[in-house]
Structure 1
């Protein structure tokens, strides 16, 4: 009886905690809509249970049709984990090996020594098909995977580096993986995904969609991707802009993108990865383990179709995607078993928004976004902030300098372009690149800097200034 009493006693507090998360996330998202024009769908889950799900804005800006929680979005590069899953399923069936050569399947390609493992981990050195085809492909003709492979073969586009030498993100590699799935399975990539992933997981709103422009195929409740046209001061379909015509002539390429889905279906997928529903435990663990080093500074790695890293909250398994009109992200923190899925059809900054929501889930006080206004600050005040700073992320220490150029402060970090820091008070500066990042300095009575804070999408982390 005592245990029952304790359980009943705790239930209201558990429900209250979840309600507080939901309320805090909704306040944060409403501010993202008001300040940053967020348009899209959001789902947040804890231990596989939805604690927040909402749709914001239009699925079609032209017709003013509204999104709902079952609206279907292009996932862009979030699709890569589905392609990786297809390869690993064939691996478990003994249909291929990760050491198999690319030329075993496509001998016409001039790239020697490239393996499936290289393709999965972005270490193949293959040229970027999008760059290669930009100037030599008829932009009025829609390319499909076979066209892309034959183009690389006939044009003999050189490799960027020898396979295995380094990490370089490769859409080409994942498109070719989709074609390998077709060769090995005897099924189209679309049907393979449907039969082996979408049906077993009951992802009823998901499909491969690379026929929107070639056959005028349509999807019910589709979230059309829109981009902001500066000249028109409004959101338009990218098809109407010459700079974004890749949405037409590369619309047929699949494997690196073209999975279309909903936030609800992606939660089913996320849980399938967590529970190894489609693969044996050993193979699933390989997919989610560190296979290649993406970033030597932040120690971020790539697995098979996903990235693995750590931030101030802990280990994170994630992938984002971008295509004209769409920004997407699926991310999970195993330590708290929380999943965040954000799909935007107006290119909102989903990665930063996901980071802010993560702060809420980890019980941090997250500041809401607001409009930043630059003020004039005396040069003597600016000078006191010059120097080297660092902040810690778990076991990592990230460092940068604050320098002065032409009377203005800049964040300087090796290998990254300098970013101007604009003052909004005597102690608080915002990044001038449009991102929701600020630096707030703390000083003593004499004006000497004693420390500070780096603020990313409302999440604060402590800054330390190096002593001279």
Structure 2
């Protein structure tokens, strides 16, 4: 999907949404957004900061005093992946409620003083941030996400990977046993385990269509969800990676990508929200990396 002047000017869908049922992908098909969800979690944090319910300078110890290094780590550093925290092991292997996932993870963390305040991509930061959203708002994450994004923006093609699909057309994810192969095959549907969707708490457990993803990210970067001051504070390139506040930040645009469970999604959006490119795939392999394509299309869209 390519957006100019705030409206889609080009959409194209292809391939199978479900090969076994011979169902094709359509413009309203929804895909797992994986790590793109981190940007939306960051938005929930910043909204609470804007409402003076918490601060980016809060120490992690205020919410998780048992975590090593929590007396030094700030919410800001967690948003920028500069906490020095990594998760030991793979997390729970049975479906658990949010609070228990976060608490179990909190007791399985490794803190590196060497990596403190240095860029290191570590999803556990956003698992903990999602739990902090719950603690501060006194609502569960799914509820506040639904209120803030799904209901507010009337998103009809967005749902969580667990629970009811809410009549959303979720495309099945596929992988290739030969990751570098250019040959298309639907022989390997990725069967997501129930605990995997819960373990991705706040970091990769939402399905969205390209249109819904654009609406949500536009609301985040240029809508009335956050003030200009809040956005300028949240979306800053905090390291050489340009990552900050759940997005990769450039001079006049933002972007993110997600990869896993048979899906890959990439989006770029201008600061005004009027120009954007969204590419989503339910066929995951290295030879199908859509990032270069999305980058090129967005550069062309901005230059026109």
**Equivalent residue in structure 1 for 2:122, among 162, 170, 174:** 170
Q: TM-score, normalised by structure 2?
A: 0.86
Q: Which residue does 2:276 correspond to in 1?
A: 339
Uncovered stretches (5+) of structure 2, i.e. residues with no partner? 180-184
C-alpha separation in 2, matches of 1:217 and 1:335: 32
C-alpha separation in 1, matches of 2:240 and 2:121: 9
Question: Are the aligned partners of 2:159 and 2:168 in contact in 1 as well (CA < 8 Å)?
Answer: no
Q: How far apart are residue 342 of structure 1 and its match?
A: 0.8
Q: How far apart are residue 320 of structure 1 and its match?
A: 0.6
Q: How far apart are residue 144 of structure 1 and its match?
A: 4.8
Q: Which has the larger radius of gyration?
A: 1
Alignment of 1:66-465 (within 5 A): 66-112=24-70, 113-127=72-86, 129=87, 132-134=88-90, 139=93, 141-155=94-108, 157-161=109-113, 164-209=116-161, 211=162, 219-230=167-178, 234-239=186-191, 247-253=193-199, 254-290=201-237, 292-295=238-241, 301-309=242-250, 315-334=252-271, 337-347=274-284, 348-358=288-298, 360-361=300-301
SS in 2 for 1:69: coil
Question: Are the aligned partners of 1:144 and 1:251 in contact in 2 as well (CA < 8 Å)?
Answer: no
Question: Are the aligned partners of 1:98 and 1:116 in contact in 2 as well (CA < 8 Å)?
Answer: yes
Q: How far apart are residue 323 of structure 1 and its match?
A: 1.0
Q: TM-score, normalised by structure 1?
A: 0.58
Q: How far apart are residue 217 of structure 1 and its match?
A: 5.8
Structure with the bigger percentage of strand = 1
Question: Are the aligned partners of 1:61 and 1:226 in contact in 2 as well (CA < 8 Å)?
Answer: no
Q: Structure 1 86/104 Cα, relative in aligned 2: closer, same or farther at 3 Å?
A: same
Alignment of 1:35-74 (within 5 A): 43-74=1-32
C-alpha separation in 2, matches of 1:279 and 1:356: 29
Q: How far apart are residue 111 of structure 1 and its match?
A: 3.1
C-alpha separation in 2, matches of 1:208 and 1:159: 31
- Structure 1, residues 109-144: CA drift from partner, whole Å, max 9, x if none? 2332111111111111111x3xx233xx664x2355
- Structure 1, residues 188-236: CA drift from partner, whole Å, max 9, x if none? 1011011122222222322333x2xxx68675311111112349x6432
Q: How far apart are residue 163 of structure 1 and its match?
A: 6.9
SS in 2 for 1:55: coil
Uncovered stretches (5+) of structure 1, i.e. residues with no partner? 1-42, 240-244, 296-300, 365-468
Total equivalences in the alignment:
295
Q: Structure 1 177/363 Cα, relative in aligned 2: closer, same or farther at 3 Å?
A: closer
